[in-house]
Amino acid sequence: MTLNVPADLQLLDAQDALRHKRDEFLVPDDIVYLDGNSLGCLPRGVPARLAEVTQQEWGEHLIRSWTRNAESAQDWMALPDRVAAKVSRLIGAGADEVAVGDSTSVNTFKALAAAMSITERRVLLTDADNFPTDLYMAQGLNRLLGGSWEIRTCPNTEIMEHLTPDVGVTLFTEVDYRTGRKLDMQGLTARARELGILTVWDLAHSAGAFPVDLNGCGADFAVGCGYKYLNGGPGAPAFLFVAGRHHDAAPVFLSGWMGHADPFEMARTYSPAAGARRYLVGTPQVLSLSALDEALNVFSDVDMNVLRQKSLSLTDTFIRLMEPLAEKHPLTLVTPENHDERGSQVSYRHPDAQNVMKSLIERGIVGDFRTPDILRFGFTPLYHAHADVWRAVQGIQAVLKGQK
């Protein structure tokens, strides 16, 4: 798609401190990819790293790769800890407070089970429109506990007033997956701590998209995935954060051998490893962990505050360029314009959103549809330019204009 990008956007791209990062990704030239909040683009270093793991470490060294490079911490056994250290920098945590493995759903179960076991209260407060897997895990865990908990819901715009002294645990997603609305983690966590409430945060649309400071906020538990803004590939391992103050008190209910203090001792009684590694369960997923390990290297020299400023610039530009279209077509902006309340995506309601998105994707503008009427566009500052925003809006205009 060849278009004349306005001079002001060209200037923003010329001044972009992160523009060199785009070259570290395999971004297709024939589309504008605005779905990195579902699946991030492929970092260029990942294919070579996977080839090395499969051909040399697996193909040649076989089982010896579990421990053959222990002195350099490059062995497979060290993979979860190595990746945890890279993730911890992005979420404001200590490396020993993060465990990497399993899925976000499984880690949500672990976090909830731990939190719910160390409070005497029996109310779990969550967002009524939270991501379904979070709600499902809470519901399933409550069934396992004999239905002894009340799962209380509230709109995510009214959380503060629902933080009451009878609540024991909260489960909130920092950025709403549909609207892109960003919660005040600092303020909500501070209020929860005042009331003795334990917090569990879902960072699926936060980690890698903007700075997160779990310890600075005083968060208790958190989970997040590796395949969205962290670009670890489809089904990449997820992460779990457990604040250091809870390591000894919060039980490990999925007590697998990889979370044992000495996995190869083959003891018949579980003895937890130090730190958050105790929350690992089974054998590390070497191929997917290696992909995520390599993908996280793109963040090694990134100032997350600079990344946040670019994210806001991209989304501000998109909203501004979409305003004339919203005046002519049945588009309703549902993403907050206030920077403090916005993640790294912009969403609109449209009565025929599913078909509109289908037409956009056919035209090379790849966002996604969320039921019942949401058009969702994700912006990844590491590989997006303001020129991409311009191209996207021109494509959206053409699709909407062509509708009957």
Domain boundaries, the chain: 7-44+303-401, 61-299
pLDDT given at position 379: 98
CATH topology assigned to domain 61-299: Aspartate Aminotransferase; domain 2 (3.40.640)
> Does the annotation flag 201 for ligand binding?
no
Measured CA to CA, the distance from residue 109 to residue 253 in angstroms comes to: 9
Structure tokens at 329: 């077509």
pLDDT given at position 4: 84
Measured CA to CA, the distance from residue 212 to residue 22 in angstroms comes to: 22
Whether 389 and 325 have beta carbons less than 8 Å apart is answered as no
Whether 381 and 370 have beta carbons less than 8 Å apart is answered as no
CA-closest candidate to residue 214, choices 87, 83, 344: 87
Measured CA to CA, the distance from residue 251 to residue 114 in angstroms comes to: 6
Four-point Cα dihedral 215, 280, 73, 238, nearest 10? -60
How much is the average pLDDT of 387-403? 94
Residue 398 Ramachandran class (φ > 0 left, ψ -120 to 50 alpha, else beta) = alpha
pLDDT given at position 404: 45
pTM (two decimals)? 0.96
Distances (CA, A) of 389 to 101, 242, 250, 318, 381: 34, 37, 45, 6, 11
User: What are the catalytic residues?
Assistant: 131, 202, 227-228, 376
CA 94-192-178 angle, to 5 degrees, is 80
pLDDT given at position 67: 86
Measured CA to CA, the distance from residue 278 to residue 280 in angstroms comes to: 6
- In the predicted model, is pLDDT for residue 107 greater than 70? yes
CA-closest candidate to residue 356, choices 379, 344, 373: 373
Measured CA to CA, the distance from residue 378 to residue 355 in angstroms comes to: 18
Phi/psi at 25 (5° precision): -125, 150
CA-closest candidate to residue 201, choices 231, 156, 143: 156
Structure tokens at 31: 């589309």
- In the predicted model, is pLDDT for residue 402 greater than 70? yes
> Does the annotation flag 132 for ligand binding?
yes
pLDDT given at position 1: 43
How much is the average pLDDT of 369-394? 97
- In the predicted model, is pLDDT for residue 259 greater than 90? yes
316-338 tens-digit pLDDT: 999 999 999 999 999 999 999 99
Phi/psi at 369 (5° precision): -105, 135
Structure tokens at 23: 């070259």
168-197 tens-digit pLDDT: 999 999 999 999 999 999 999 999 999 999
When the pLDDT of each residue in the chain is averaged and rounded to a whole number, the result is 96
> Does the annotation flag 105 for ligand binding?
yes
> Does the annotation flag 283 for ligand binding?
yes
> Does the annotation flag 23 for ligand binding?
no
Residue type, 111: A
How much is the average pLDDT of 366-388? 97
Whether 88 and 98 have beta carbons less than 8 Å apart is answered as yes
How far apart are the two ends of the chain, measured CA to CA in Å? 24
Whether 98 and 84 have beta carbons less than 8 Å apart is answered as yes
Q: How many CA atoms lie within 13 A of 358 on its CB side?
A: 6
Residue 377, helix vs strand vs coil: strand
> Does the annotation flag 247 for ligand binding?
no
CA-closest candidate to residue 359, choices 323, 385, 396, 334: 396
Domain 7-44+303-401 CATH class label: alpha beta
